[in-house]
Structure 1
Amino acid sequence: MLKRSFMAILCGVIAAVGLSATTTVTAASAAPSCANVEVLFARGTAEPAPPVGLTGLSFGQALRGALPGKSVVVRGVNYPASANFRDRIGLAQTVINGVKDTQNRITFLARTCPQTRIVLGGYSQGAVVAGYAIAPRVTLPAQYRGSAPTPLPASVARNVAAVVLFAPPSARFLRDAQAPAIEVGPLYQGKTIRYCIAGDTICNGAPLGQPNGLHVLYAVNGDTVNAAGRVAARI
């Protein structure tokens, strides 16, 4: 019953957001251009509208509206947002690959487009990717340790205007999943905004479990608009 209602809500969210904005979204590996602002967004687990996902599309649209006269490019992190939780090692590797892709893009932009203001974002599993990308360290279990991402150079922090995490899995949720908690590095703490709908069991500290219907509402509940306003004030 929960799964059925969850899917019904998700379908409603897809209809509400619409997919017309996908024409303005490119993958993180696309040819570079120096926009005023680049949003680098990691979508949630199996979230529709890849590579950015519904939440990223909604946030990107809102940020464009909040920054009239500025060019805003929205790019999706190159990772599959896999839902294959039975293959823990494979899933962990896809997250690590997403973290490295995020860090590579930030470093690349800081070097080649130093005037571009970078906005890093992520939803759900994507918030883990974004959070790990700006962590001072990611301490992984022994079987993954050789693949652990290295911290970003401190010099690129000034290029990152803001970090927005929608429904970031709580420390308890990640601990139950045998994954490290999201630890935002000191250079990014004052730039980081987190959103968690009250009752969303992914981010509210509940034990590991399936998401409820509240977890898919970030694209339509006003949080992306609120986040865009707060981010625009930092650009």
Structure 2
Amino acid sequence: MGGIGAVAAAGLLGPGTASAHAESCPDVSVVFARGTAEPAGLGRVGQAFVDDLRGQLGGRSVGVAAVNYPASYDFLQSAPAGADDASAQIQATAARCPDTRIVVGGYSQGAAVVDLITGDPAATFGFGRPMPADVADHVAAVAVLGNPAGRIGRTLTTSSPLYGAKTIDLCNGADPVCSNGDDRPAHSAYVQSGLVSQAADFVAGRVASHAPAGTLVNASGTVG
């Protein structure tokens, strides 16, 4: 909503409504997609990522939302369903809370969900469901772990024009889900390997340097 529309809406809704709305928006909002067959919610890797990230964001308020999807072995049905839910949640947050820094994350099949909404559609097996380009301005960082697209060399850091520079895409050694290796236990060891913490470190840095989409930048290049 433009500045004039926002002022008009605030006047119609009454004093205090606009400020209450702003207070309901967290500084940071994390949307995370769990891995295949993990229980509904963030999953083990997602929860560890959120816990680590909270510890690095100091006094910033953090909202957390799990992608609501089957995470089943019917990958071609499950992952696109997750992409649709993740996209809807992210776009709703961007519209409702334009100053909130959004973090998008996923593990294993959840990483593929993130690929579908942030990657180049031509590089995601024809199932690309990219979000509108202006949503990228609201996303401070993307973190994916055990990304299946890595098996064909399609990491988000190299294949996503809008999100690549703000993405960390990690594969644990010879994890066969994201590489041509055969170390199956590696796929379950992202927390123990320290890669979850590495992802949280990266995201925290991006959040600290990200100017919200509604922030004005003056002619000198500094935030105004």
- Normalising by structure 1, report the TM-score: 0.70
Task: Classify 1:55/1:140 alpha carbon distance in 2 versus 1 (closer, same or farther; 3 Å).
Answer: closer
Give per-residue Cα distances to partners, 1:4-48, cap 9 Å, x unaligned: xxxxxxxxxxxxxxxxxxxxxxxxxxxxx5111111111111124
1:204 matched to which residue of 2? Answer: 179
- Aligned-partner Cα distance in 2 for 1:36–1:140: 31
Give per-residue Cα distances to partners, 1:116-156, cap 9 Å, x unaligned: 11111100111000111112325787xxx7xx454211111
Gaps of 5+ in 1: 1-32, 85-90, 175-180
Task: Classify 1:140/1:72 alpha carbon distance in 2 versus 1 (closer, same or farther; 3 Å).
Answer: closer
**What is the aligned counterpart of 1:122 among 106, 125, 128?**
106
- Normalising by structure 2, report the TM-score: 0.74
Task: Classify 1:186/1:216 alpha carbon distance in 2 versus 1 (closer, same or farther; 3 Å).
Answer: same
Question: 2:151 touches 2:179 (CA, 8 Å); kept in 1?
Answer: no
* Amino acid of the structure 2 residue aligned with 1:125: Q
1:223 matched to which residue of 2? Answer: 195
* Amino acid of the structure 1 residue aligned with 2:169: R
Determine which structure has greater relative contact order: mean sequence separation of CA pairs < 8 Å that are 6+ residues apart, divided by chain length: 1
* Amino acid of the structure 2 residue aligned with 1:154: A
Secondary structure of 1:80 counterpart:
coil
Question: 1:173 touches 1:202 (CA, 8 Å); kept in 2?
Answer: no
**What is the aligned counterpart of 1:232 among 204, 207, 219?**
204
Question: 1:132 touches 1:138 (CA, 8 Å); kept in 2?
Answer: no
Question: 1:45 touches 1:124 (CA, 8 Å); kept in 2?
Answer: yes
CA drift of 1:191 comes to 0.5
**What is the aligned counterpart of 1:190 among 157, 165, 182?**
165
Answering whether residue 141 of structure 2 is matched by residue 157 of structure 1, we say no
- Aligned-partner Cα distance in 2 for 1:139–1:159: 23
**What is the aligned counterpart of 1:65 among 51, 55, 62?**
55
Q: Which runs of structure 1 show a deviation greater than 6 angstroms over 4 or more consecutive aligned residues?
A: none
**What is the aligned counterpart of 1:54 among 25, 44, 56?**
44
* Amino acid of the structure 1 residue aligned with 2:103: V
- Aligned-partner Cα distance in 2 for 1:193–1:136: 16
Question: 1:96 touches 1:129 (CA, 8 Å); kept in 2?
Answer: yes
Residues 100-119 of structure 1 aligned to structure 2 (within 5 Å): 100-119=84-103
The aligned length equals: 182
Task: Classify 1:138/1:109 alpha carbon distance in 2 versus 1 (closer, same or farther; 3 Å).
Answer: farther
1:78 matched to which residue of 2? Answer: 68
2:25 matched to which residue of 1? Answer: 34
Task: Classify 1:196/1:233 alpha carbon distance in 2 versus 1 (closer, same or farther; 3 Å).
Answer: same
Task: Classify 1:153/1:198 alpha carbon distance in 2 versus 1 (closer, same or farther; 3 Å).
Answer: same
Task: Classify 1:53/1:138 alpha carbon distance in 2 versus 1 (closer, same or farther; 3 Å).
Answer: farther
1:168 matched to which residue of 2? Answer: 147
1:14 matched to which residue of 2? Answer: none
Among the aligned pairs, what percent are the same residue? Answer: 42
2:215 matched to which residue of 1? Answer: none
Which has the greater radius of gyration?
Answer: 2
Task: Classify 1:215/1:222 alpha carbon distance in 2 versus 1 (closer, same or farther; 3 Å).
Answer: same
Give per-residue Cα distances to partners, 1:97-132, cap 9 Å, x unaligned: 110111111111111111111111100111000111
CA drift of 1:65 comes to 0.1
2:216 matched to which residue of 1? Answer: none
